[in-house]
Amino acid sequence: MEVNIKEQIRTVFTRYLEANKCRKTTERYTILDAICDMEGRFTLEELSEKLTADNFIVSRATLYNTLRLLLSMRLVVKFVLPHGTWYEVGYKNENHCYQVCTVCGNIDELRTTALAAIVDNVRPKRFRKDGFIIYIYGVCSSCQSKMKRKARQKELKKGT
C-alpha cells in the first residue's frame, strides 16, 4: 500500500481514538500498519504470523480487540464464509462477488462490474448501508469431475 494512503488511514484512526477517548497504544498502531501491508484478504492467523515475522508479538486478545475497533469504524471488513473468516482493509469501500464451491470450499472472486453496479444502487430504507457481498454457491468443475468419477466407481462395484 502506498505510504501516503497509510498515513491517511493512521490519521483517520487517530481521530477516531481521540473522539472516543481510547488510548493510542503501540499495539494498535503496529497492528494497523501490519493490516495495511497485508495483500488482499487475510485471516487472523496470517496477520499474527506477519506481526511475528516483524518481531512484534501481540496476544490473541489484543489482536481481536484491535480488529473489533477497526471493524466498528469500518477501516476493516470481515467476511464470514462456510470455510473460515477473513478480513480485508475496507478503506476503498470495495464490494465483492464470490463464487464459492460448497464441496471443496474454494473461493474465487468474480469481476462482474455490471452486477456490482446494480447492487450498489439498492438503497434500503432506514438503514445505513456500508457495503455488500454476493456469494454464488455451487460446485466447481474440479469437484464435478471428482463426483462423476466416484459415481462411476460405485457403479462398477455394484456390478461385482
Residues that bind DNA (CB under 7 A): 22-28, 44-45, 57-62, 64-66, 68, 84-85
Backbone angles phi, psi at 67, to 5 degrees: -60, -40
From the list 28-36, 39-47, 55-63, 118-126, the region that binds its own copies by CB under 8 A is 118-126
Q: Which cell numbers in the block locate residue 49?
A: 504470523
The listed partner (DNA, its own copies, none) that binds 105, CB under 5 to 8 Å by sort, is none
Residues 14-73 within binding reach of its own copies (CB under 8 A):
20-21, 71-72
The span from the CA of 99 to the CA of 23, in Å, is 40
Query: What is the SS3 assignment for 9?
Result: helix
The listed partner (its own copies, DNA, none) that binds 23, CB under 5 to 8 Å by sort, is DNA
37 close to 25: Cβ distance less than 8 angstroms = no
**Is 130 a residue that touches its own copies (CB under 8 A)?**
yes
Residue among 134, 141, 104 nearest 119 (CA):
134
From the list 38-46, 49-57, 58-66, 139-147, the region that binds its own copies by CB under 8 A is 139-147
Residue among 27, 61, 63, 62 nearest 47 (CA):
63
* Least distance (Å) between residue 63 CB and DNA: 7
